Structure 1
Amino acid sequence: KFYGAVLIRYRREDFSEMEHYGGVSPAWPFSYEEFEPWYSRAEQLFRVRGALGEDPTEPFHSIPYAFGPVPDEPPIARARAELKGLGLHPASLPLGVDIDAWLRDGKTGWDAFPNTGTGKVDAQSGPLTAALADRNIRLETGAHVEYLEASSDATTIAAVHYRQDGTLKKVTPKLVVLSAGAVNSAAILLRSPSPSGKGLANRSDQVGRNFMNHNSSAMLAIDPRRRNTSVYQKTLMLNDYYLSDGKGGKPLGNVQLLGKIDGHILRANVKLAPKFALDFMAGHAVDWYL
């Protein structure tokens, strides 16, 4: 569980066609308004902490956040104030983090931190735990889906074939939801039998292709006069340049804090630099994800 627990809604404009420096992002087949109730439901399931009214790009919320934002640590509160002083609109990151539970387990940041506890609210500790409270729902563990079997008219999934404890089994539900992540969902479709031999839902031959990754970088803002004593740091974002460059030009993207960088992390990328210098840099930096 490495994820940084940031749960930002796409902006309303993201659902329309938008021109970026890298090309045109096509319009979605539905609008933000159609999607909005499901955002609200997901935020409830993931117990998202956040604040409305800080970010001018924030779209309409039919239900406010159930919990207030994770508080800024003092160095970050100072950075927020300085950004506001520049006329920008720093806003609290919406986070699926139970900050009290997280800090009880250790004084460390959660961003990219491997953890199997409940401090970060993910699909297991949030929606799955809530679902298993229903006596009509059972979780089959140790089960590996081998393939999906299509109906005779190839319009629905008739059965799920899976292996459990060395035995091949199958279930024939009325509805099948394939939600195994970008890699494994594609792998299951590709190894499922189909008339074309290319896997299910793959007439385009594009299943398993075109994977995307973050188009991003990291930046350390270093001030040798100020020590950053933050433990988790990651509570702030800036979207002033998300929908345009601030001057009517093309979008530049989101800016948000990273989890706190330390000398060991820097050492992995700058192996020949002396450790004391890296520790000093990390200890006097505010770390940004661009």
Structure 2
Amino acid sequence: MTMNTHYDAIIIGTGAGGGTLAYHLASSGKKILILERGKFLPREKENWSALEVYQKERYHTPEQWYDVNHKPFRPAMNYWVGGNTKVYGAALLRLRERDFEQVEHKDGISPEWPLKYRDFEPYYTQAEQLYDVHGQGGIDPTEAARNLPYPHPPVHHEPRMQELVNGLRQAGLHPFNLPLGLKLNEVDKSLGNCIHCNTCDGFPCLTQGKADAEVNCIQHIRHDANITLLSEAKVTRLHTSPSGREVSRVEAEIDGETQFFTGNIVVVACGAINSAALLLRSHNDQHPNGLANSSDQVGRNLMKHICMAMVQLNTKLNLSVYQKTIAISDFYWGESDFPYPMGLVQNTGNVLADMLPAEVPALLAPLLRLRPGAELKTVADHTVGWWLQTEDLPDPENRVRVQEDRLYLNYKPNNLEASDRLAKRWVTVLKQVDRAEHCIPFSLYPRNMIPLQSVGHQCGTCLFGEDPKTSVLDLNCRTHDVDNLYVVDGSFFPSSSAVNPTLTIIANSLRVGDHLLERLK
């Protein structure tokens, strides 16, 4: 065992939460240790291989998790410097203002947040600037008020996408440019790393043109004198003082050796699932049910959205190189004959030939008699991908559990009627748009639900609030039970809304960072 230098702050994890927080605290001059269980994701030609990324899952962890029936599965988790942002689709949306209020859904209630949109708005603005967000205000009918415009203009729609936008408008909808975090300059491409390619959503970026937590945060601070970054350092346990009121040591495995680190402040930012698992594994006499778990809420209320991938397949050729530019929120709060929230629709990235065996629904292959080779590419060239996401509601029985050395996800989807309603409504819209293009003799709209192992939108396992009996964290994301312990990732969400959570995680990290800067003084 090795005991290492004492630090002002220790941050565990380098994703949207931890990477952003480390960047925000670096200029304080305080001595900061960043521990990341992964290494730097290699820049290699396989970054752009759909076969390697989608079929072989080259960049996902090989570890096994377990479902409620003790069945093992391989989670779509990415342990790299930069966390899951290394392969995210870079869609960076704000929660709607009403998302922070109590909302009635078909299957139950989405709870009120203890803070409101106005508390997050200035940090949303900072987050958009930090992560190079491209967008345009005033088009999305559900967007909240902005104090400043987006820092960069929206990514343009390529011709086939623009045709769809025109068709959607003719159908009475209000498509808007999906806000995207890209290092892109469409006027002068020499000023940005993004080359506007067809392997972005779900892929690592070989050119470092995607605004992720490594490229936009860690790279800028990792060589600062007050920053120590240790990769391939898996934190296994947090130890407390005899009183149980502060973390006294952080235990990590590095090169097969157990090492201990001490810090005035310890921040857990491992992602909602792994952060909860770390707290549960850190149980001791003072915290017998897991660290900071006197409320019995650690690991509970796991949310990850009800997500569905849909393919719009017809005879219309789609030559778009970068198609993920459209979003539709017209059904976000429901419609006249279904007065409950339904969710958000947005493009997926390009559907490539080598993605089809892994992504396309099982019924599509025999229907089209697909075989490896040219026919797969022909099908891919005539598709547009859509991603539908509906809010899943917090349920204390949807939870992360740790049993011996196994991590369990007990998760049963809810709010399914709203999700099904959104899917059927979207098919109706696409049929209307396709019929308007008289050159399209037929269309198919196969779809599939995203399975348990997809955890890219994980949140809610250590919710924040003012009552220690019903929440894990206070409003500054400090644990109620342990004075120097914070959790800064998607864990704090009381509800999941129906937009991608990453920008809110980043904004909250900046908000908590301001609090920590004051505390570190």
Give the structure-1-normalised TM-score: 0.88
Q: Which amino acid aligns with 1:82?
A: G
Instruction: Using the TM superposition, give the Cα deviation of residue 121 of structure 1 relative to its aligned residue in structure 2, in angstroms.
Output: 1.4
Cα distance in 1 between the residues matched to 2:338 and 2:256: 60
Other-structure match for 1:102: 194
Other-structure match for 1:36: 121
Other-structure match for 1:180: 270
Other-structure match for 1:212: 303
Q: Which amino acid aligns with 1:45?
A: L
1:137-176 to structure 2, matched below 5 A, reads 137-176=227-266
The structure 1 residue matched to 2:280, chosen from 171, 190, 194, is: 190
Q: Does 1:82 align with 2:180?
A: no
Cα distance in 1 between the residues matched to 2:231 and 2:383: 44
Cα distance in 2 between the residues matched to 1:263 and 1:142: 34
Q: Which amino acid aligns with 2:370?
A: P
Q: Does 1:289 align with 2:387?
A: yes
Q: Which is worse superposed, 157-166 or 40-49?
A: 157-166
RMSD: 2.4
Instruction: Using the TM superposition, give the Cα deviation of residue 152 of structure 1 relative to its aligned residue in structure 2, in angstroms.
Output: 4.0
Spell out, residue by residue over 1:196-236, the C-alpha distance to the aligned partner (whole angstroms, 9 max, x if none): 43220223444334433331212223342x21101220011
Instruction: Using the TM superposition, give the Cα deviation of residue 252 of structure 1 relative to its aligned residue in structure 2, in angstroms.
Output: 1.0
1:204-283 to structure 2, matched below 5 A, reads 204-224=295-315, 226-245=316-335, 249-268=339-358, 269-270=361-362, 271-272=365-366, 273-275=369-371, 278-283=376-381
Unpaired segments of 5 or more residues in structure 2? 1-85, 185-191, 389-521
Cα distance in 2 between the residues matched to 1:153 and 1:37: 38
Cα distance in 2 between the residues matched to 1:90 and 1:246: 19
8 Å CA contact 1:190, 1:200 repeated in 2: yes
SS of the equivalent of 1:71 reads coil
Instruction: Using the TM superposition, give the Cα deviation of residue 91 of structure 1 relative to its aligned residue in structure 2, in angstroms.
Output: 0.8
Change over 3 Å in CA distance of 1:22–1:116 after alignment to 2: farther
Cα distance in 2 between the residues matched to 1:264 and 1:177: 40
Change over 3 Å in CA distance of 1:221–1:141 after alignment to 2: closer
SS of the equivalent of 1:124 reads helix
The structure 2 residue matched to 1:62, chosen from 147, 150, 156, is: 147
8 Å CA contact 1:19, 1:250 repeated in 2: yes
| Number of corresponding residues | 287
Q: Which is worse superposed, 175-184 or 189-198?
A: 189-198
Overall identity of the aligned pairs, in %: 40
Cα distance in 1 between the residues matched to 2:179 and 2:275: 27
Give the structure-2-normalised TM-score: 0.51
The structure 1 residue matched to 2:201, chosen from 92, 95, 111, is: 111
Other-structure match for 2:133: 48
Cα distance in 2 between the residues matched to 1:32 and 1:252: 21
Change over 3 Å in CA distance of 1:146–1:24 after alignment to 2: same
8 Å CA contact 1:147, 1:192 repeated in 2: yes
Instruction: Using the TM superposition, give the Cα deviation of residue 124 of structure 1 relative to its aligned residue in structure 2, in angstroms.
Output: 1.2
Bigger relative contact order (CA 8 A; separation at least 6): 2
8 Å CA contact 1:83, 1:89 repeated in 2: yes
Q: Which is worse superposed, 185-194 or 276-285?
A: 276-285
Change over 3 Å in CA distance of 1:44–1:207 after alignment to 2: same
Cα distance in 2 between the residues matched to 1:252 and 1:65: 26
Q: Does 1:203 align with 2:294?
A: yes
Unpaired segments of 5 or more residues in structure 1? none
Q: Which amino acid aligns with 1:261?
A: V
